Copies of this chain bind each other. A is one copy, B any other.
Amino acid sequence: MREVADLAQVAISSVSRVLSGHPDVSAPMRARVLDAVARLEYEPDFLAQSLRRGQTLSVGFVLADISNPLIAEIVLGAEAVLRAAGYSLILMNSESRAALDAAHIRFFQSRRVDGLMLSLADEASPATLEALGQGRQPAVVVDRELPAALGVSAVVNDHGAGMRAAVSHLVSLGHRRIGLIGGPLGTLPARERLEAMKAVIAASDGVEGRYLSGPFSSEHGREATRQLLRGAEPPTAIVAGGNQLLIGALEALQEADLEVGRQISIVTCDDVPLSRLYRPPIASISRDTVGLGRTAAELLLRRMGDDPGPPERVVLPTTFVARASCAPPPGAAPVEHARTGPVEGRR
């Protein structure tokens, strides 16, 4: 910067004023400075700027699992909104490990990001909660729930609604034994889905539910499916509570040589290419993930602004899309009224 000032024959402070758009700058000086900047290919050091200004114009996003295609869409939505507001989005992956959640949060805090977006591996981890409690930055959780005392905004989906529709659909097709392969109970979606399924089943006479919670991994999906199939009276329909779980479940079903949509019905949470393209296509509880990311970014922007309002909580809808992976159980009489709408992919 001093070199620029020397070349342009002005004071260092004038260079700063030109570059940061200060009003008290004459046109000829601006021209001289900009010329020198261009000539020396000078670029200001963001680190030093941030240190001085106490602002980094960046937002940190802690992702539980970067390999989840849904997260990618959330990031896309958030990034678009933040970029439009002049912020950069920085990602860190915690591999579904709560310890890394906390470490990454601390990392971002000491790097002075202006805001945090969180898709946590575990909502109840003490290390995570403490890190959040210490930080001064506004934060927003995506599809998670934190104690209100932390003052964190939240965007969540109404997973209960989608799950109720899905299970009702299965029940009305005639299924009497339904299995749920759920995610970790330290995450809101897994809890809501479990509760919603239990509620529908409790309200349906003669229907029995089997619940296996575990990590959002294909291994858990595979093992849980094997376990469900191993019993004397295996379920005739399975709900996979996430797309990694679906992968494992399909592996186990193929291994057991069960024909989806005939011998066994399956529903997945979160629509991905695999569920749409599978033969038969897999019914799913879907949601607008890009919108989820967008909304999260908007909530965060509102809290990072000059006049930060109170933390907000926004609930976005989920919808159940019936597809040919759901059919009446083997041996059941066809139940025509079960179709609540057009069913994709049936031949």
| Chain A residues near B (Cβ < 8 Å) | 41, 43-48, 50-51, 56, 66-67, 69, 71-73, 75-76, 79, 88-93, 95, 106-107, 109-112, 134, 218, 247, 250-251, 254, 273-274, 277-279
Contacts and interface: CB of A to CB of B under 8 A. Distances in A.
A91 B91 contact: yes
A194 B330 CA distance: 48
B93 A92 contact: no
Contact of A92 (B69, B90, B273, B274): B90
A222 B43 CA distance: 43
Contacts of A43: 106, 109-110, 134
Contacts of A91: 66, 90-93
Given A75-B66, A92-B89, A48 B45 contact: no
A88 B218 CA distance: 27
A93 B79 contact: yes
A158 to B, nearest CB: 24
Nearest to A91: B91
Contacts of A273: 218, 247, 274
22 contacts: A43-B134, A44-B110, A45-B110, A46-B112, A47-B51, A51-B51, A66-B72, A67-B69, A67-B76, A76-B95, A79-B95, A89-B92, A89-B93, A90-B92, A91-B92, A218-B273, A247-B273, A250-B277, A274-B274, A277-B278, A278-B278, A279-B279
A47 B108 CA distance: 10
A218 B73 CA distance: 14
The 3 closest A-B pairs by CB, nearest first: A67-B72, A91-B91, A46-B110
Contacts of A67: 69, 72-73, 76
B76 A111 contact: no
Given A66-B91, A88-B92, A273-B274, 5 more contacts: A47-B51, A67-B73, A91-B92, A277-B278, A278-B279
A47 B112 contact: yes
A45 B54 CA distance: 11
Contact of A69 (B44, B45, B69): B69
A216 to B, nearest CB: 13
Nearest to A56: B47
Contacts of A90: 90-92
Contacts of A69: 67, 69
